[in-house]
Amino acid sequence: MTKTWALIVVTAALTACVSTSEVVPMGKDSYMISSSSNGGPGGNGAHVSRIEAAKAANRYCDAKGLHMVVRNLGGTTFGLSGGTSELIFSCVTSDDPEYKRPDLRQAPTTVIEDQRK
Would you say residue 31 lies in a domain?
Answer: yes
Bridge partners (DSSP) listed for residue 20: 35
Q: Is the pTM of this model over 0.85?
A: no
What is the spatial distance between Cα 27 and Cα 43, in angstroms, rounded to a whole number?
34
Which positions ≥6 away from 71 have C-beta within 8 Å? Answer: 30, 88, 89, 90
For residue 51, give its domain range. 15-92
Would you say residue 62 lies in a domain?
Answer: yes
Would you say residue 32 lies in a domain?
Answer: yes
- pLDDT tens digits for range 37-84: 775 555 566 667 788 889 999 999 999 999 999 998 887 766 666 777
Would you say residue 77 lies in a domain?
Answer: yes
Would you say residue 103 lies in a domain?
Answer: no
Would you say residue 114 lies in a domain?
Answer: no
Would you say residue 5 lies in a domain?
Answer: no
Q: How many independent structural domains does the chain possess?
A: 1
What is the spatial distance between Cα 111 and Cα 49, in angstroms, rounded to a whole number?
27
